[in-house]
Homo-oligomer: A and B are copies of this chain.
């Protein structure tokens, strides 16, 4: 049993852990581990927004172009192709790419072909929206959790290693206990989101600045390997409850501190859906995320259906679960939108009233 916080990031705590060393989790969990030399990773969300079936082919081609560019020098170590429909009924396809080295990402971004494509006037006139939401947390600003130690997902794929079984999971508050920075910081938010270029509206290039300690989570599940009773339980009991909670956050999240939520479906290289999905959300603070998770009826229902599920299966699951949570400084966030509707991503709630 080891701590989720890797040894080289441990320091004397001024904020104590919720559980002491005598705590034993009821089921195992693992974290991804990066080499101690890793300083800062990049989680890049490269989106294509479109409206209506007629535009889907063009949007798909744009996504493929983005994914092809990942193969250029200094490209990401791993990427996923995903899709969701947002609250305004737009399709959003996102290529999510991970770099274990922020400097490599900067070089990739500065590749003349990439830079020229992103800055070209054509991007405003193709009938598509584009966005880049880039989170680049230093290694003490994020944590990961996996239900199995093989086949990691997300940032875990590029981190290169995996921990032993973790102590800090399986209880409310464990997310915070796994975050290295939370050893010495309450992670209170400060500052405000602001539009720093353009006007949130179609036809515009918009840049949004985040504020200190925006919290971001990608929380996913894969049901490829489930069979029989487990598969039926997942598809008929859990999945609908999960979708309801995700729809709530997407449509009514702002008043409780959720700036944006997308319930994403993985796609294969040909655009066909895989048996994998995840929620991707941005929050005013880690505390806002914690409160929703702990007490909002929509998440209590998700947690309750999950607990019934694991109990029915006696903790013997084929379902794979993982999450990655970051608490971001202002300089670890970059949000850019080209020709997107006013409520897209981190613009949500910043747009002038209609």
Contact B16 A15 (CB under 8 A): yes
A102 within 8 A of B: no
A125 interfacial by beta-carbon distance below 8 Å? no
Q: In the complex the two chains form, is B294's CB within 8 Å of A171's CB?
A: yes
Name the residue of chain B whose CB is nearest to the CB of A24: B291
Complex Cα distance, B295 from A172, in Å, reads 8
Is A351 an interface position by the 8 A CB rule?
A: no
Option from B18, B20, B186, B311 in Cβ contact (under 8 Å) with A173: B18
A308 at the interface (CB under 8 A from B): yes
Residues of A in contact, count (CB < 8 Å)? 29
Smallest beta-carbon distance A30→chain B, Å: 19
Judged by a CB distance under 8 angstroms, whether A301 is at the interface is: yes
Enumerate chain B residues within 8 angstroms of A294, measured Cβ to Cβ. Answer: 171-172
Shortest beta-carbon contacts, A-B, top 9: A304-B304, A172-B172, A297-B307, A297-B311, A300-B307, A172-B294, A300-B304, A171-B294, A297-B308
- A70 in contact (CB, < 8 A): no
List 29 A-B residue pairs with CB atoms under 8 Å apart, sorted by A's residue number.
A15-B16, A18-B18, A18-B173, A20-B186, A20-B188, A20-B287, A22-B188, A23-B287, A26-B295, A170-B295, A171-B290, A171-B291, A171-B295, A172-B172, A172-B295, A173-B173, A295-B307, A296-B307, A297-B307, A297-B308, A297-B311, A300-B300, A300-B303, A300-B304, A300-B307, A301-B304, A301-B307, A301-B308, A304-B304
